[in-house]
Amino acid sequence: MPEIFEKTKCLIIGSGPAGYTAAIYAARADMKPVLYQGIQPGGQLTITTEIENFPGYPNGISGIEMMEDLKKQAERFGADIRWGSVVKVDFSKRPFVIHTDDNKIIHADSVIIATGASAKWLGIPSENKFSGYGVSACAVCDGFFYKGKVVAVVGGGDTAAEEATYLSKLCKKVYLVHRRDELRASKAMQNKVLNTANIEVIWNNLPQEIVGTEEEFTKAVTGIILKNTKTGKESKLDIDGVFIAIGHNPNSELFVGQIELHDNGYIKTEPGSTKTSVEGVFAAGDIQDYYYRQAITAAGSGCMAAIEAERLLSSEK
């Protein structure tokens, strides 16, 4: 199949709140943006059953519905939103050269990267089965649904300690399940966890299975099966929800050697900006944000990226 060449003022790689918001702003600025949605159109929010902390939705909304709304809004202003993924980039000179999985080579005057980050999971089958029905990777996003309930957080680093501390303000009881006999979190975070009355650390245990009701309209987590890493003994913990907090992986493999990354793999941007180490390449959303990781902050940075891209191109005319 012959390669197809295209030219665009602005190419957006990835969707989700950052990518779609960038597309809305870029389209309204008459940049005629092209957006490739990637392997998970809409990003991580599409596996979130209910979003209640995004402004403008007083009754909440499902992640899938919200992302579809943002997509339609971008298309309304003329954004060209496509299925498929970018497979190769060359940021060595402008226009940038982008290869896609549908055999296109796109020359782009500017690029906005919004590929996000993916939560690390335990890898047990029941984890996927109850995703959105008692299994979550974001306490700030979903903690409210467990107000007054009993939950478990799995992990031992700063992320797990932060999630447990946040949930302790909402939940009746929080179990922090860790596979070792000491936490990897910073001393300050460890002190918070160990001195919070309704947080109980379960040492030397690994989740084996998440259990619950599986009927279509009443699917819910009721417990977790743990295995002691020293004795091999299994036990069941009765809980209402599980928060997996073993970290995130930035989806930045495509950009290794092309732009500057942090040691943890996230894209480096100038403080207070979405500008990367390459002029004309911008990064928005979770791909450059390992602190907030919220839909609203991702959308905000998508707006910033589009404005910065438009201003750069305008200044070069």
Asked whether the beta carbons of 248 and 117 are under 8 A apart, the reply is yes
Q: Which residues contact 216 (CB under 8 A, 6 or more apart)?
A: none
Q: Is 240 a residue of the active site?
A: no
Residue 185: closest CA among 204, 166, 160: 160
Choosing from 10, 141, 171, 303, the catalytic residue is 141
Which is the catalytic residue, given 10, 109, 138, 240?
A: 138
Please count the CA atoms within 13 angstroms of the CA of 317 that sit on its side-chain side.
6
Active-site hit among 10, 109, 142, 303: 142
| Catalytic annotation present for 142 | yes
CA diameter of the chain = 69
d(CA 150, CA 146): 7
SS3 168: helix
Q: Is 303 considered catalytic here? A: no
How many whole angstroms separate alpha carbon 158 and alpha carbon 2? 49
DSSP state of 316: H
For residue 282 the two structure tokens come to 């911008």
Q: How far apart are CA 75 and CA 20, in angstroms?
A: 9
Contact 270, 260 (CB under 8 A): no
**Which amino acid, 79?**
A
Residues involved in catalysis: 138, 141-142
